[in-house]
Structure 1
Amino acid sequence: MKTRQKDRGIPEPQSPWDEIRPCLWMGGHFWADRSGAVHPAVVSNEFDLVISLFSRDGHGPGAGTEHVIAEIPDGPLTAHQIRLVQQAARTAADAERNGRTTLVRCRSGYNRSGLVLAQTLIELGSDAPTAIALIRRQRSPWALNNHTFEEYLTTGLDVACLLSGLDTLT
């Protein structure tokens, strides 16, 4: 499965993960320091829950940390994959309501993690434009640069799921 779109001239993030709001963090598996050197972002026990939309051996989390893996591509999603996003977002929202620290991560921590975290914020009462703006402000202006994901959020994932499922009816 293809999991990341080709590099589109977008820089690696400047930190392994960033706090979007209390208890909710967004990150990736790689980040770049000021010199541009790329480093792995390895999670040990910093979080109570880690939701990985991309996974790589050796990147954690440590023993005792709940780890949910729901790999999805950084591109158009099937109805099934959109439902995975919704499930991951509900899991993150429930964790936040219970005061558990949660990291949602993908490869760089821009698109897939942004999609799930924005949907989490929507589950928690935000509207899509506010959730997207918060993620870009807290993580990076490059967050949610996948316009398809932004359209899923502004349309609503339930509608996006129905529309994506139309391909399977023929």
Structure 2
Amino acid sequence: MKTRQKDRDVPGPQAPWNEIKPLLWMGGHFWTDQAGELQPAVAGREFDLVISLFTRAGHGPHPGVEHLITEIPDGPLTAEQIHSVQQLALTAAYAVRSGHTVLVRCHSGYNRSGLVVAQALIELGQDTATAIDLIRQRRSPWALNNQTFEQYLTAGLDVAYLLTGLDALT
């Protein structure tokens, strides 16, 4: 399965992860240091829950940390994948409400993690535009540069799920 689109010419993130809202962090498996070199982002015990939408061996988290893995592509999603995003966002929002630190990560921490974090913010009471703006302010202006994901959020994931499911019927 293709999990990362190579056609985007965007700068890498300047940090392994960033706090978007208290207890809710967004990041990737890789980040770019001040010299412009790609660095691995390895989670240890910093978080109570790590949600990975992309994985690489050796990037953590520590075996004692709850780790949910659901690999999805950085492109159009199936109805089943949208449903998975909804479930992961609900899990993240529940953990934050319960006082747990959560990291949602993908390759660079821009799109897949942005989709789940934005939906978690919506579950926590933010409107869609505010959730997207907050992610771009706290993580990177390049976050959620996947227009399809932004459209899913703007339409609402329930609507995106239903419309995507219709495609499967034809």
Q: Which interval holds the TM-score relative to the shorter structure?
A: over 0.9
Rounded to whole Å, the distance in 2 between the matches of 1:8 and 1:112 is: 14
Residues 111-146 of structure 1: CA deviation (Å, up to 9, x unaligned):
000000000000011111000000000000000000
Rounded to whole Å, the distance in 2 between the matches of 1:102 and 1:35 is: 29
Unmatched 5+ stretches in structure 2: none
1:146: which partner in 2?
146
Letter in 1 for 2:5: Q
Rounded to whole Å, the distance in 2 between the matches of 1:70 and 1:155 is: 23
Q: Does 1:104 align with 2:80?
A: no
Runs of 4+ in 1 over 3 A off after TM superposition: none
2:8: which partner in 1?
8
Q: Secondary structure at the match of 1:82?
A: helix
Residues 71-106 of structure 1: CA deviation (Å, up to 9, x unaligned):
100000000000000000000000000000000000
Rounded to whole Å, the distance in 2 between the matches of 1:129 and 1:105 is: 21
Rounded to whole Å, the distance in 2 between the matches of 1:11 and 1:36 is: 9
2:79: which partner in 1?
79
Q: Does 1:95 align with 2:95?
A: yes
Question: Percent of aligned pairs with the same residue?
Answer: 72
Structure-2-length-normalised TM-score: 0.99
Rounded to whole Å, the distance in 2 between the matches of 1:151 and 1:130 is: 15
Rounded to whole Å, the distance in 2 between the matches of 1:77 and 1:57 is: 24
1:157: which partner in 2?
157
1:24: which partner in 2?
24
Structure-1-length-normalised TM-score: 0.99
Over the residues paired in the alignment, what is the CA RMSD in angstroms? 0.6
Length, aligned pairs only:
170
Q: How far did residue 7 of structure 1 move?
A: 3.9
Rounded to whole Å, the distance in 1 between the matches of 2:38 and 2:7 is: 14
